[in-house]
Structure 1
């Protein structure tokens, strides 16, 4: 059945407050799974089962799908759709409240999801900070949000960009038109692949580093020198030592340089954390 038919059968009206824009084109879900290169040994965690259109495609390829859905109104729909599907495990609970350590013994853990915009940042933060090691994560976001995650400099570049790129390299997989969803959202979507990069999180304390980055971006229109002067008395000398022009703006400084700045500041403080 089509997405609209499933929803009509169970008299389900989607809630804007839950960010419910359900994928309605099975061709798109098939293409997502194809590009994900799932094999029979993979265990996939899906966040937001929705009407199950993507879950169904993943289950055709993966060893197991562990999927989370917060809206219990969808329970009868999903129970019917996956009746007899032994490799689909549905949890009607909030993924943000889930203890991810229980997945630590899964050898080939991957994430795939169409994430509601209003909790995109929270889900990324939870996975990067709490998840056991995973092979990759493939997520669908609103296009503008995705551009911010991929940005390396200039207008879209932000603490969010740096946060994500501290943990992962980000790769654009495909764009998805808004016409492939019910109800039709106002903007198009993009699918991104996150490949973990553990070297940075082994070198620094990510949470403390991000406090530092937020200070650097505290006034975007000001120079990096201006933003750091409250925590570094000899700011200009400090920046010059790591070959940064004190007149640079926060959006002009790449991730690697921010890490150098942070390490140098810790060196000056005797590796003391906190700002």
Structure 2
């Protein structure tokens, strides 16, 4: 949301549909850059350059290239004109619509960006699908969402937590108040460090495992037994100590234990929309 009196910057209109909140706190940029290691071979990616507050500092870091994805043509032109650089490329395109294979030539990429809040989950899903193209990175996202990424139990712990922690390491960095932006958002932000995991746990029939996990978290205050009863399956092989837990109390290892038991038992008729009788 925008506060009155901040509808434009540098003579250009700010566009709410693009989630444009421009950073104005240099200490946040410094913390972001301190979170990664850059050298003369680094490929740096920025998403949503805005008026170039971060971009100008990226240009001063050791790097081979800086590639910016900016959906707004006016700000893309502004940054290209105001901060020209021989190793900077601005791509005027929605990051969610690009062919990520075009990034492979210069991978791995270090993503450093103040992300529009509304693209956080879709973007991380894209990065997960192409995680071999990325190295350690730092992004700024909504504080509440950052807590979901790192949670291991409790109310913020969800399917999102288990799913993305399977693929990435995460670390919370600097908390960023609304006053660090123009216009100020109504929520607190957070710098989030992440890096694709070098090795992943092997999960048999992984796609079905994630479907099961969604069912477990569908009503997180209900016990696993109550959530699984909607699948009309025989739960007799599952230890009672697992069935009495809620999803927000379970570790990934416990979910894998549950999956091993379920995946080796034949399932009876199920009407749940995510499943058929074989969890297809």
- Same-fold call, TM cutoff 0.5: yes
Alpha-carbon distance in structure 2 between the residues aligned to 1:89 and 1:259: 44
Asked if 2 retains the 8 angstrom alpha-carbon contact of 1:175 and 1:188, the reply is: yes
- 1:230 Cα shift? 3.2
Alpha-carbon distance in structure 2 between the residues aligned to 1:264 and 1:88: 52
Structure 2 unpaired stretches of 5+: 268-276
Aligned residues: 265
Alpha-carbon distance in structure 2 between the residues aligned to 1:224 and 1:255: 14
Counterpart in the other structure of 1:65: 66
- 1:159 Cα shift? 0.9
Q: What's the C-alpha RMSD, in Å, of the aligned pairs?
A: 2.5
Counterpart in the other structure of 2:249: 252
Partner SS for 2:46: strand
Asked if 2 retains the 8 angstrom alpha-carbon contact of 1:21 and 1:181, the reply is: yes
Alpha-carbon distance in structure 2 between the residues aligned to 1:257 and 1:181: 41
Partner SS for 2:215: helix
Counterpart in the other structure of 2:190: 190
Alpha-carbon distance in structure 2 between the residues aligned to 1:57 and 1:117: 22
Alpha-carbon distance in structure 2 between the residues aligned to 1:81 and 1:233: 63
- 1:203 Cα shift? 3.8
Asked if 2 retains the 8 angstrom alpha-carbon contact of 1:100 and 1:132, the reply is: no
Partner SS for 2:55: helix
Structure 1 unpaired stretches of 5+: none
Partner SS for 1:245: helix
Counterpart in the other structure of 2:216: 216
- The 5 Å alignment of 1:21-100 reads 21-61=21-61, 62-83=63-84, 85-100=85-100
- The change in CA–CA distance for 1:31 and 1:137 in structure 2 (over 3 A counts) is closer
Tell me which protein shows more helix as a share of its residues. Answer: 1
Counterpart in the other structure of 1:145: 145
Asked if 1 retains the 8 angstrom alpha-carbon contact of 2:70 and 2:94, the reply is: yes
Worse-superposed segment, 187-196 or 127-136 = 127-136
Counterpart in the other structure of 1:171: 171
TM-score (norm 2): 0.85
- 1:54 Cα shift? 1.3
